[in-house]
């Protein structure tokens, strides 16, 4: 079993930082989801992340940097930072925003999965920041951390989820810092800044309108030439049960036809819908932020009931729902 430490104890932060500096793996809370962290400049430590996740080595990882000296960290990893990216950094870091920047050829090649770019993010979670600061004192410039789940599965939003994902690892192979439930709940928004204009690679809780207003430039959608990003694979974030998205009318009709035969179908919906008696169900919040916060925990919870199917009411159309809609459609793909 991985070693689980309460992150509110100061010695836990120092222990996490030491593990990172020694080339070990740390399960780390961020405001979005938990990350599986290693020193981004230590190739063998980073390879251990790919191994533990079962993630292909050509899927690049995000490098996390401390908020007290972001300039030094940015300059360590990035070759250049376009003006619109500087504006996004100034306004939104620390926070749930990852920027893809041209990478200095000599750094973090393994973490970057062979790309000539690097994904940089400055998380706002106090535990993540405390660990990044303490690790920096041991000479760690940045921490590579994908979501702390096995490849293709639902991202973890609690320390218990991380323990579940990596239960097979020994206590000297992974230290997990418990910082409670993640307040955002879905992964960071990713903006590619290597093409002369901002390109949205993965929607999150920051709306396109807000990003455009800050960048001072229109945000383009990704095209086929965009770099590889597992978070942009069509099927990802998937529970074991099959997820299907339907609107309220379709759901009502389907449950009516199936009657008691639907008792092995879980339901996650905002609208009042009559599902089978006794079937697992959760109510989706009407507020997009609240829905994002609980989304992955609810999918795990419904999955754990052993149902074969999870039927989910299609989220509303508004841009504030982009992130939730994106994760649900990938879970359903
Ligand atoms: O909120 C988050 O971003 C979380 C927390 C832990 O920070 N991390 C996360 O990492 O979601 P991961 O590895 O599960 O997803 C990162 C995404 C992947 O789709 C990856 O391919 C993409 O970022 N990415 C990273 N570096 C990239 C690069 N240089 N070019 C293109 N995509 C990149
Ligand atoms: Mg992930």
- DSSP states of 67-112 as a string? SSSHHHHHHHHBS---HHHHHHHHHH-SSSEEEEEEBPTTS-TTTT
Instruction: Of 286, 276, 216, give the one whose Cα is nearest residue 251.
Output: 276
Q: b/e string for 5-34 if b means 16 or more Cβ within 10 A?
A: bebeeeebbbbbbebbbeebbbbbbbbbbb
- What pTM does this model have? 0.96
Local structure of residue 227 (DSSP, 8 states): P
Whether residue 166 contacts residue 52, with contact meaning beta carbons closer than 8 Å, is answered with: yes
- pLDDT value of residue 59: 95
| Phi/psi-derived region of residue 180, left when phi > 0, alpha when psi is between -120 and 50, beta in every other case | left
What does the pLDDT profile of the chain (333 residues) look like in tens digits? 999 999 999 899 999 999 999 999 999 999 999 999 999 999 999 999 999 999 999 999 999 999 998 899 999 999 999 999 999 999 999 999 999 999 999 999 999 999 999 999 999 999 999 999 999 999 999 999 999 999 989 999 999 999 999 999 999 999 999 999 999 999 999 999 999 999 999 999 999 999 999 999 999 998 765 455 556 666 667 788 999 999 999 999 999 999 999 999 999 999 999 998 889 999 999 999 999 999 999 999 999 999 999 999 999 999 999 999 999 999 998
Beta carbon of 33 within 6 Å of any ligand 1 atom: yes
Local structure of residue 56 (DSSP, 8 states): -
Whether residue 158 contacts residue 181, with contact meaning beta carbons closer than 8 Å, is answered with: yes
Burial class (CB in 10 A: 0-12, 13-18, 19+), 150: middle
- pLDDT value of residue 173: 97
- pLDDT value of residue 142: 98
Beta carbon of 211 within 6 Å of any ligand 1 atom: no
Distance 290 CA to ligand 2 centre (A): 20
Whether residue 112 contacts residue 103, with contact meaning beta carbons closer than 8 Å, is answered with: yes
**Three-state secondary structure call for residue 241:** coil
Distance 137 CA to ligand 2 centre (A): 28
Beta carbon of 119 within 6 Å of any ligand 1 atom: yes
Whether residue 178 contacts residue 16, with contact meaning beta carbons closer than 8 Å, is answered with: no
Which residue's alpha carbon is at the smallest distance from atom 30 of ligand 1?
227
Domain boundaries, the chain: 3-221, 242-332
Beta carbon of 189 within 6 Å of any ligand 1 atom: no
Beta carbon of 35 within 6 Å of any ligand 1 atom: yes
CATH number of 3-221: 3.90.870.10
Among 31, 119, 161, say which to mutate for ligand 1: greatest number of ligand atoms within 8 Å of CB: 119
Among 32, 116, 231, say which to mutate for ligand 1: greatest number of ligand atoms within 8 Å of CB: 231
Distance 153 CA to ligand 1 centre (A): 14
- pLDDT value of residue 293: 98
Burial class (CB in 10 A: 0-12, 13-18, 19+), 238: middle
Provide the total of helices (H) and of strands (E) in the chain, helices listed first.
10, 15
Beta carbon of 145 within 6 Å of any ligand 1 atom: yes
Cα separation, 42 vs 165, whole angstroms: 24
Local structure of residue 4 (DSSP, 8 states): E
Output the CA torsion sign for 238, 239, 240, 245.
Answer: negative
Fold of 242-332: Rossmann fold (3.40.50)
Angstrom distances, CA of residue 92 to CA of 110, 120, 168: 27, 13, 37
| Kind and range of the H or E run holding 162 | helix 159-165
Total count of residues recorded for the chain = 333
Among 229, 323, 327, say which to mutate for ligand 1: greatest number of ligand atoms within 8 Å of CB: 229
Calculate helix-pair angle for 208-215, 83-92, nearest 10 degrees: 120
């Amino acid at each position: 079993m991985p070693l689980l430490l309460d992150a509110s104890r100061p010695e836990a932060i120092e222990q996490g930082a030491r593990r990172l500096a020694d080339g070990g793996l740390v399960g780390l809370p961020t405001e979005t989801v938990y990350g599986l962290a290693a020193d981004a400049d230590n190739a063998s430590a980073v390879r251990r992340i790919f191994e533990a996740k079962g993630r292909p080595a050509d899927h690049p990882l995000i490098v996390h940097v401390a908020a007290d000296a972001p300039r030094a960290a940015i300059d360590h990893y990035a070759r250049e930072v376009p003006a619109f990216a500087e504006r996004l950094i100034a306004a939104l870091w620390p926070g749930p925003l990852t920027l893809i920047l041209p990478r200095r050829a000599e750094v973090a090649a393994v973490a970057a999965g062979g790309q000539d770019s690097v994904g940089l993010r400055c998380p706002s979670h106090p535990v993540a920041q405390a660990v990044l600061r303490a690790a920096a004192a041991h000479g760690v410039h940045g921490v590579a951390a994908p979501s702390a789940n096995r490849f293709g599965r639902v991202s973890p939003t609690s320390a218990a989820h991380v323990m579940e994902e990596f239960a097979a690892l020994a206590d000297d192979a992974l230290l997990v810092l418990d910082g409670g439930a993640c307040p955002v709940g879905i992964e960071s928004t990713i903006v590619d800044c290597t093409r002369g204009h901002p390109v949205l690679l993965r929607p999150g809780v920051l709306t396109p309108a807000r990003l455009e207003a800050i960048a001072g430039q229109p945000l383009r959608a990704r095209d086929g030439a965009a770099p590889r990003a597992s978070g942009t694979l069509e099927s990802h974030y998937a529970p074991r049960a099959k997820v299907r998205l339907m609107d309220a009318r379709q759901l009502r009709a389907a449950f009516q036809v199936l009657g008691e035969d639907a008792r092995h179908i879980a339901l996650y919906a905002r609208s009042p819908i009559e599902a089978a008696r006794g079937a697992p169900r959760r109510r989706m919040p009407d507020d997009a932020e609240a829905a994002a916060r609980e989304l992955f925990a609810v999918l795990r919870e419904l999955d754990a009931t052993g149902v074969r199917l999870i039927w989910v009411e299609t989220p509303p159309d508004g841009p504030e729902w982009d992130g939730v809609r994106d994760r649900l459609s990938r879970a359903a793909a």
